[in-house]
Amino acid sequence: MRTLIIENRTEIEEIVQSCKTCYVAMSENNVPYVLPMNFALEDDVVILHSDQSGRMWETLHQNPKVCINWTLGEELAWQDVRVGCSYRVKSKSVLVEGSVEFVDDYDEKERCLHLLMAQYSDRKFKFNPPAVKNVGILKVHIEKISAKEFGAKAVTPWNS
For the chain, the structural domain boundaries read 2-152
Query: How does the average pLDDT of the chain come out, rounded?
Result: 89
Pick the more confident residue, 159 or 136: 136
The phi, psi pair for 29, rounded to 5°, reads 55, 45
Mind listing the pLDDT tens digit for each residue in 64-73?
999 999 998 8
What is the rounded distance in angstroms from the CA atom of residue 15 to the CA atom of residue 116?
Answer: 16
Fold of 2-152: Pnp Oxidase; Chain A (2.30.110)
pLDDT number for residue 160 = 46
When pLDDT is averaged across residues 140-156 and rounded to a whole number, the result is: 82
Q: Of 82, 87, 45, 80, which is closest to residue 66 (Cα–Cα)?
A: 45
Query: Residues, the chain, total?
Result: 160
**38: pLDDT strictly greater than 90:** yes
Of all residues in the chain, the percent with pLDDT exceeding 90 is: 76
Mind listing the pLDDT tens digit for each residue in 63-112?
999 999 999 887 666 666 776 666 666 789 999 999 999 999 999 999 99
Specify the pTM.
0.86
When pLDDT is averaged across residues 25-52 and rounded to a whole number, the result is: 96
What is the rounded distance in angstroms from the CA atom of residue 92 to the CA atom of residue 94?
Answer: 7
Of all residues in the chain, the percent with pLDDT exceeding 70 is: 85
The phi, psi pair for 43, rounded to 5°, reads 55, -120
Question: For residues 111 and 21, is the Cβ–Cβ distance under 8 A?
Answer: no
**Quick one: DSSP state of residue 21?**
-
pLDDT number for residue 87 = 63
**9: pLDDT strictly greater than 50:** yes
Q: Of 76, 72, 102, 103, which is closest to residue 87 (Cα–Cα)?
A: 76
